């Protein structure tokens, strides 16, 4: 089935906030991107939603592909769609979040992730896209 529309359409992505709590601090899992844009920059795990894929399925798929993590309950956090947030074009991201036990969770970089690592929520590296804004909003709304 194909459609032709007169109006441009945005792309849809999912991003995942994966948190852990350890020794009184909150940590966030980040991936180091292996492809442009923002090659070698740190970012939230995520990617494009397939045309026949439900949003939660896309979030679980992308998280597993980029980090190897599948044993997590993800909840939808918020949508982000400010024009210009992605240099590839008009992109809307649906962000999901979840918590894991770091002692029971092993993350391994895969797919288009060069590395995966945990960072203290108060000491993050420079981030790709608008992920710093997403994280700040999550910290406020989730009380982290």
Per-residue pLDDT tens listing for the chain (144 residues): 576 778 888 999 999 999 999 888 999 999 999 999 999 999 999 999 999 999 999 999 999 999 999 999 999 999 999 999 999 999 999 999 999 998 888 899 998 899 999 999 999 999 999 999 999 999 999 999
Give the span between the Cα atoms of 136 and 95, in whole angstroms: 13
pLDDT at position 1, please?
Answer: 56
Contacting residues for 17 by C-beta, under 8 A, at least 6 apart: 28, 44, 77, 95, 96, 97, 98, 134, 135, 138
11-142 under CATH 3.90.1150.10, yes or no: no
pLDDT at position 135, please?
Answer: 98
Q: Which two tokens stand for residue 123?
A: 């000491």
pTM: 0.94
Query: Which residue, among 57, 62, 65, 60, has the nearest Cα to 46 in the 3D structure?
Result: 62
């Amino acid at each position: 089935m194909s459609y032709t529309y007169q109006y441009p359409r945005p792309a849809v992505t999912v991003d995942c906030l994966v948190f852990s709590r350890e020794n009184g601090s909150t940590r966030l899992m980040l991936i180091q991107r292996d492809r442009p844009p923002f090659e070698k920059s740190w970012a939230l795990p995520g990617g494009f939603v397939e045309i026949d894929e439900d949003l939660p399925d896309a979030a679980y798929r992308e998280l597993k592909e980029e980090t190897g993590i599948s044993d997590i309950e993800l909840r939808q956090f918020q949508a982000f769609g400010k024009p210009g947030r992605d240099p590839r074009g008009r992109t809307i991201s649906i962000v999901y979040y979840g918590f894991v036990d770091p002692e029971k969770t092993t993350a391994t970089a895969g797919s288009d992730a060069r590395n995966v690592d945990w960072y203290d929520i108060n000491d993050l590296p420079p981030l790709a896209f608008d992920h710093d804004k997403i994280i700040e909003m999550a910290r406020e709304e989730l009380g982290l």
